[in-house]
Amino acid sequence: MQLRYLVVSLSLALPASAYAQAATDLDGLVVTGTRTALTADQSLAAVEVIDHAQILRSQARSLQDLLRGRAGIDLANQGGQGKVSTLFMRGTESDHVLFLIDGVRVGSATSGLTALQDLPLELIERIEIVRGPRSSLYGSEAIGGVIQVFTRGGSADGAHARMRAHAGAGSNGLGKAGAGLDVGDGDAWFGVDASHLQTDGIDACRGVATPFFAGCGMDHPDPDRDGYRNTAVSLRAGARLGNAWKIDARAMRTEGSNDFDGDPAWGLPDHSDTVQQVVGGSLRYEGARLALKFNAGRNTDTSDNILDGTVVDRFGTHRDGAGLQADITLGRGQLLTLGADWSRDSGGVAGGFNAFDASRDNRAGFFQYQGAFGRHDLQLSARHDDNEDFGGKDTGSAAWGMDLAHGLRLTASHGTAFKAPSFNELYFPFYGNPALRPETSRSTEFGIAQRTARWRWQANAYQTTVDDLIVYDPNIFVANNIESARIRGLEIGAGATLHGWDVNAQATLMDPRNRSETAHDKLLPRRARRSARLDLDRGFGDWNVGASVIAQGRRFDDVQNGLAMGGYATVDLRLERGFGDWTLQAGLSNALDRRYETAAFYNQPGREWSLTLRYAPR
């Protein structure tokens, strides 16, 4: 693989990194990539962590805004706040990223997508992004990577009672408010957070004249604002049971109400009510050489599509899961992990013309070995999934790292992954095909990094090949495994503090190519070959100022590359002032009022202002 053919992704802001499945109370440790706690310097993959302080400082309005422009990530949004958003990681498909919330697998089993537009930032403590295949630890969906959201939670460390609250307003009728409380005494803890957000929105779909149709499926969509409302609450509780055992439980529920452009002449809905609910818990044992963890959880995802107050159709799924994991210390720097997972997806569609119900079980066993040998680190993992729909599937990965002089570190890895067909792909009327096979991938990656007291940088080169991609096959009039793709990339990163300014930047050059016969060598839709993000922040006593510049290159919105969307750049400005326990934030997003689209025919917000007052006792 020659370097000149690689996709370049600059991830200049390299925060604490490693891998993760469940929350950890230890600062500087993350656990999503290896399902065990690692420090940033031990990581053998490209990982990014966005903590709560960064979330607050960014003044992002949504999870999509927070993730925009980050290395390897492309986002497509259908008309602003609360509208359907899809995420592509490292050029793979939008359903090739595994989403976890507090260790629970989330997303619709019908569409295969996660409603990230309905996850409120105010309830999020931190986000861990793991780039690259992770099916050898998690099974289906982790082809492009894993994104895990950790909700805000009570701490098990020390006696405390902490309150917080916020209220804000902004452009397009934006209003938001929320409050939270954490209580703990070191042996037991409890917490609750609630938030509400509403906006009048923008006119989401601009439409286009016949013979072409807008992404909303209309020649002339209604010229009205498409509003959005979201109410959310999260609960958590836990306790220590002696010196070695700990039990905890978490729950989150968000309810969204979303207006969009429909066509009453065709009986198409123009409003949806959505529910995202995640409930989970775990029991852990921490011994000198053995750690055990049992976890279980359920994700509920529903969407009622409505016209004139009447439900036209309903998409709904449950995703249940449980797992048992044992981490065995074999010696100094030697860790063996053995685990078993069980999951069940169930749900379907109810409507006048489109209806089905389906369910399937999946059982899996996996192992992982992590070893340190002087300057060398080694990670090996393998997993077997036994799925009720398609039978067995084996995946594996291997990663190696070497520490050199002056803080330099070399890494290399190879891994395989797969994505199980969604229920819509299998059973949706006039589209589904029960004979579909899982989509599969193989990825190879090389990296080099250096971290010093003053600055840090990192570079990761990769190639991913995806086979048996599922698309509509006009020859048999249903979905079929007929496409393939090849994606090459290079991720580079650096960050430093210069003259009092925290400088963090990310950029991506990508070459995601279709390798199917009907669209050979075409670029995959909605992936920009070039993108960049620059974040600048500085404190002046009680004042903090900052700016984010996000640039995206030209992309296409169709398989044959006939529908182009132009490149764009936006500038976001932010200012905040502290008054003891109070903080006043002022933000100006898209300050240059740039017009652009990330999904063809769907408008994006212009210049928007916001003011937020926060209370958090120190």
pLDDT digits (tens, 9 = 90+) for 537-567: 999 999 999 999 999 999 999 999 999 999 9
Lowest pLDDT segment from 42-46, 115-119, 547-551: 42-46
What's the mean pLDDT in 61-75?
94
- Provide the 10 A C-beta neighbour count for residue 384: 16
Determine the pLDDT at residue 283: 97
177 closest CA partner among 201, 193, 200:
193
User: What is d(CA 102, CA 153) in angstroms, rounded to the nearest whole number?
Assistant: 10
* C-beta separation of 387 from 394 below 8 A: no
Q: For tokens 């074999």, what's the residue?
A: 330
**CA atoms of 102 and 113, how far apart (whole Å):** 18
What is the side-by-side strand order in the sheet with 124-131?
A: 47-51, 124-131, 145-151, 97-101, 104-106
Q: Alpha-carbon Rg of the chain, whole angstroms?
A: 23
Out of 209-218, 538-547, 558-567, 582-591, pick the least confident: 209-218
Neighbouring C-beta atoms of residue 306, cutoff 10 Å: 20
Query: 135 — phi, psi (to 5°)?
Result: -65, -25
The number of residues making up the chain comes to: 618
pLDDT of 12 reads 33
Structure-token pair, residue 41: 């310097």
Task: Give me the pLDDT at residue 224, please.
Answer: 84
The pLDDT value recorded for residue 262 is: 75
pLDDT of 210 > 70? The answer is: no
Q: What is the pLDDT of residue 215?
A: 62
pLDDT value at residue 24:
35
Task: Output the pTM of the full model.
Answer: 0.93
Is 140's pLDDT higher than 80? yes
Share of the chain above pLDDT 70, in %: 91
Residues 80, 202: Cα–Cα separation, whole Å? 7
- Residues 479-498 have pLDDT tens digits of 999 999 999 999 888 899 99
Q: What is the mean pLDDT of residues 114-132?
A: 94
Least confident residue range of 5-14, 312-321, 462-471, 508-517: 5-14
DSSP letter, residue 14: -
d(CA 302, CA 324): 28
**Residue 572 confidence class, pLDDT cut points 50, 70, 90:** very high
In the structure encoding, which two tokens stand for residue 525, read together? Answer: 């839709």
Q: What is the pLDDT of residue 158?
A: 55
Tokens of 84: 């359907």
Least confident of 196-210, 404-418, 510-524, 584-598: 196-210
Amino acid sitting at position 551? A
- The band of 161, judged by pLDDT with boundaries at 50, 70 and 90, is confident
Query: Can you tell me the mean pLDDT for 614-618?
Result: 91
Mean pLDDT calculated for residue range 88-113: 96
Contact 512, 540 (CB under 8 A): no
What are the backbone angles phi and psi of residue 85, rounded to the nearest 5°? -130, 135
Instruction: Please provide the average confidence, as pLDDT, over all residues in the chain.
Output: 90
Type of residue at 613: L
Helix residue spans in 287-347 (DSSP H) = none
Asked whether the predicted pLDDT for residue 214 surpasses 80, the reply is no
Q: What is the mean pLDDT of residues 563-572?
A: 96
How many CB atoms neighbour CB 223 within 10 A? 10
Please say if the pLDDT value at position 356 is more than 70: yes
Contact partners, residue 571, CB within 8 Å, separation at least 6: 547, 548, 549, 590, 591, 592
pLDDT at residue 8, as a whole number: 35
d(CA 55, CA 552): 22
Tokens of 417: 């992954």
Residue of 53, 34, 116, 49 whose CA lies nearest to 83: 116
Asked if the model's pLDDT at residue 381 lies above 90, the reply is yes
Confidence (pLDDT) at 153: 76
The burial of 471, by beta-carbon neighbours within 10 Å (0-12 exposed, 13-18 middle, 19 or more buried), is given as middle
pLDDT of 19 reads 29
Which residues does residue 454 pair with via DSSP β-bridges, in sequence order?
A: none
Residue 389 — very low, low, confident or very high, per pLDDT cuts 50/70/90? very high
d(CA 604, CA 606): 7
The whole-angstrom distance between residue 145's C-alpha and the CA centroid of its chain comes to 9
**Predicted confidence band at 400 (pLDDT cuts at 50, 70, 90)?**
very high
Task: Specify the residue for token string 């395989």.
Answer: 416
Q: Which pLDDT band holds residue 28 (cuts at 50, 70, 90)?
A: low
Determine the average pLDDT of the residues in 370-396: 96
108 pLDDT tier (thresholds 50, 70, 90): very high
Tokens describing residue 566: 């132009």
Exposure string for 260-288, b = 16+ CB within 10 A, e = fewer: bbbbeeeebbbbbbbbbbbbbbbbbeeee
Phi-psi region of 289 (alpha: psi -120 to 50; beta: other; left: phi over 0): alpha
DSSP state of 52: H
The residue type at 285: Y
Given a contact cutoff of 8 angstroms between Cβ atoms, the answer to whether 550 and 572 are in contact is: yes
Res. 101: pLDDT tops 50: yes
Tokens of 12: 């200049």
Q: Which helix (H) or strand (E) holds 319?
A: strand 310-331
Going by C-alpha positions, the residue among 14, 45, 38, 43 that lies closest to residue 24 is 38
Preceding omega of 211 cis (within 30 degrees of 0) = yes
412: tokens are 């290399």
Q: Which of 147, 46, 141, 148 is nearest to 466 (CA)?
A: 141
Highest mean pLDDT among 89-103, 216-230, 349-363: 89-103
Helices (H), 460-570: none
Retrieve residue 158's tokens: 């020390």
Q: Under DSSP, is residue 135 helix (H, G, I), strand (E, B) or coil? A: helix
pLDDT classification of 453: cutoffs 50, 70, 90: confident
Residue position matching structure tokens 């209604």: 222
Fold of 3-615: Maltoporin; Chain A (2.40.170)
Supply the pLDDT for residue 37. Answer: 84
**23-32, 165-174, 376-385: least confident range:** 23-32
When mean pLDDT is compared over 24-38, 451-465, 586-600, the highest value belongs to 586-600
Q: Is the pLDDT of residue 188 over 90?
A: yes
